[in-house]
């Protein structure tokens, strides 16, 4: 049982929102699963009003769906919803990469370079978790370098949704190649370091597009529809 406490600087609804979002993005709460409010209140040790506040925030992010006479459920992953997330990433994160080429400090670029090589041993028990966390560190390093918290939050929120299918059960070996991904990361850093914003923009867009194609193929293989 996970009982939530209330730190001074964070509301209880914030904690509920963060905990449920984590479970949804990592598919601990599976796409399409019903959310039984009574059970969640008992498990988290919270009131229904506080739970509802968290669920309403998740609805705004389209992670939760509310259907009349059915209640709340985790929003299913579809090919269309995944493609929409990738499109948002291509638009926003490509622009962020271009800004990084203009704004990133030498220390920022060094951090990007350190994070560029993704860590993934496919024979490891939690290979997908290690890969997702390593990949997130790289994209986070670029987003942090532009000194714009709103864009940084947008980049990371979209990336977390983008990586959700990797927790859903697709075969990580069929949808990503760590060596290829690491090389693409380093090419993006090269463009940022050379202060070539349009090159950085294009490389980031292409990088996200390649991942989209791989994962959509994997999702189709699982029988997911639009």
Q: What is the pLDDT of residues 135-163, one digit of tens each?
A: 999 999 999 999 999 999 999 999 999 99
pLDDT at 7: 52
pLDDT in tens, 189-198: 999 999 999 9
State how far the Cα of 174 lies from the Cα of 176, in Å rounded to an integer: 6
Taking the domain 79-221, which CATH number applies? 1.20.120.530
Q: Are 143 and 94 in contact (CB under 8 A)?
A: no
pLDDT at 218: 87
Tell me how many helices (H) and strands (E) the chain has.
10, 2
Q: Class assignment of domain 12-74?
A: mainly alpha
pLDDT at 223: 79
The alpha helices in 33-148, defined as continuous H runs, are 37-44, 48-60, 79-103, 106-115, 127-144
Q: Which residues of the chain have pLDDT under 70?
A: 1-9, 121-124, 226
pLDDT at 224: 74
pLDDT at 1: 54
Instruction: Give the distance from CA 87 to its chain's centroid.
Output: 13
pLDDT at 39: 96
For the chain, give every domain's residue range.
12-74, 79-221
E strand or H helix that includes residue 13:
helix 12-25
State how far the Cα of 165 lies from the Cα of 215, in Å rounded to an integer: 8
Among 14, 16, 8, 11, smallest CA distance to 46 is for: 16
Question: What pTM was computed for the model?
Answer: 0.86
């Amino acid at each position: 049982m996970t009982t939530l406490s209330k730190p001074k600087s964070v509301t209880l609804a914030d904690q509920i929102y963060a905990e449920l979002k984590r479970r949804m993005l990592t598919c601990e709460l599976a796409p399409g699963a019903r959310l039984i409010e009574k059970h969640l209140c008992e498990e988290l040790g919270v009131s229904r009003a506080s739970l509802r506040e968290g669920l309403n925030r998740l609805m705004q992010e389209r992670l939760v769906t509310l259907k009349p006479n059915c209640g709340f459920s985790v929003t299913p992953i579809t090919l269309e919803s995944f493609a929409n997330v990738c499109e948002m990433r291509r638009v926003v994160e490509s622009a962020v990469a271009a800004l990084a080429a203009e704004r990133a400090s030498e220390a920022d670029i060094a951090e990007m370079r350190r994070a560029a090589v993704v860590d993934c041993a496919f024979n490891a028990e939690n290979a997908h978790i290690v890969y997702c966390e390593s990949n997130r560190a790289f994209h986070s390093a670029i987003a942090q370098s532009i000194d714009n918290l709103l864009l940084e939050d947008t980049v990371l929120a979209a990336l977390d949704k983008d990586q959700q299918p990797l927790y859903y059960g697709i075969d990580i070996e069929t949808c990503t190649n760590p060596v290829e991904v690491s090389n693409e990361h380093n090419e993006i850093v090269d463009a940022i370091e050379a202060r070539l914003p349009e090159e950085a923009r294009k490389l980031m867009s292409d990088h996200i597009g390649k991942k989209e194609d791989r994962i959509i193929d994997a999702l189709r293989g699982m029988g997911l529809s639009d």
